[in-house]
Amino acid sequence: EIVLTQSPGTLSLSPGERATLSCRASQSVSSSYLAWYQQKPGQAPRLLIYGASSRATGIPDRFSGSGSGTDFTLTISRLEPEDFAVYYCQQYGSSPAWTFGQGTKVEIK
Amino acid sequence: EVQLVESGGGLVQPGGSLRLSCAASGFTFSSYSMNWVRQAPGKGLEWVSYISSSSSTIYYADSVKGRFTISRDNAKNSLYLQMNSLRDEDTAVYYCARDASDDYGDYWGQGTLVTVSS
């Protein structure tokens, strides 16, 4: 079973700053099967990035994904007030079908 | 517009049973695999179960294997999760999520809360 480790646990930044979130896998992950989600309190997760670097429909271009193998990154180029939330990476396998990282909280500094 | 609406959550005693439903609309339900994902209070996301479009392939997380059963009715555009022998640690918000193409969840429901407590 592949384990995803996200870092840092919490990122304290100001609006307008750049956020860099890391997701490290215990084994190599196909880039096709790495996704990122955003979750705000009381809401369902929202798909941001799939295939490691493709933005989902309606996602602003300040969100970008990169990486391959065991190291993946979600970058928010300039934080907007609505971007403060928890972010999860996820990979697809056969069993378990989906594995999630533990999440990174982006909070207002 | 794609919509997923979960229902069936509530308070149940340890050892009890509950059946969750997820009503789908706005897309051809029979063409997509589906998943259940849960989130314990204040915790992260945990995948629970997967079912392929035709129900031919089903997976479960080890934590629920033998206790939970996923199923679907394509004629009714509905996904189900039968939960038996519930434990305190099953307390969570349960989300249904559409599987884009056996890789990620592109649409999620709003969730239904299951509380297991005596």
Q: Is the pLDDT of residue B95 over 90?
A: yes
Determine whether the interchain pair A44/B110 forms a contact, defined as Cβ–Cβ distance below 8 Å. yes
* Per-residue pLDDT band at A97 (split at 50, 70, 90): confident
Tokens at residue A76, please? Answer: 């928010």
Provide the shortest C-alpha distance from residue B19 to chain A (in Å).
20
**DSSP letters of A28-68?**
EE-GGGEEEEEE-TTS--EEEEETTTEEPTT--TTEEEEEE
CA–CA distances in Å: residue A47 to residues A44, A68, B64, B98:
10, 19, 25, 11
In this predicted structure, what is the pLDDT of residue B79?
98
Q: What is the mean pLDDT of residues B1-12?
A: 97
Residues of A in contact with B61 (CB under 8 A): 96
Structure confidence at residue B103 as a pLDDT band (50, 70, 90): confident
Of B50, B95, B107, the CB nearest to A97: B50
Q: What is the mean pLDDT of chain A?
A: 94
Q: Which residues of A touch B32 (CB under 8 A)?
A: none
Is A94–B59 a contact, with Cβ atoms under 8 angstroms apart? yes
Residue B106 confidence (pLDDT): 94
Per-residue pLDDT of B27-69, as tens digits, reads: 999 999 999 999 999 999 999 999 999 999 999 999 999 999 9
Chain mean position to CA B29: 15
Using a CB–CB cutoff of 8 Å, tell me whether B35 touches chain A.
Answer: yes
Question: Looking at the complex, does the CB of residue A93 fall below 8 Å from at least one CB of chain B?
Answer: no
B36 in A contact zone (CB under 8 Å)? no
Predicted local distance difference test score (pLDDT) of residue A94? 62
The residue-averaged pLDDT of A25-36 equals 89
In 10 A of CB A90, how many CB atoms? 25
| % pLDDT > 90, chain A | 85
Q: How confident is the model at residue A1 (pLDDT cuts 50, 70, 90)?
A: confident
Partner residue opposite B100 with nearest CB, options A50, A99, A102: A50
For chain A, percent of residues with pLDDT exceeding 70: 98
Using CB atoms within 10 A of its CB, is residue B32 exposed (0-12), middle (13-18) or buried (19+)?
buried
Bridge partners (DSSP) listed for residue A101? none
Cα distance between residue B114 and residue B77, in whole Å: 22
Q: Does B59 touch chain A (CB under 8 A)?
A: yes
Coil, strand or helix at A3: coil
pLDDT band, very low/low/confident/very high, at B97 (cuts 50, 70, 90): very high
**In DSSP terms, which residues pair with A54 in a beta bridge?**
A50
| Structural tokens at position A57 | 């429909």
State the smallest CA–CA distance between residue A50 and chain B in angstroms. Answer: 7
The first and second tokens of residue A78, run together, are 């300039």
- What pLDDT band is residue A74 in, cutting at 50, 70 and 90? very high
Q: Greater confidence, B22 or A96?
A: B22
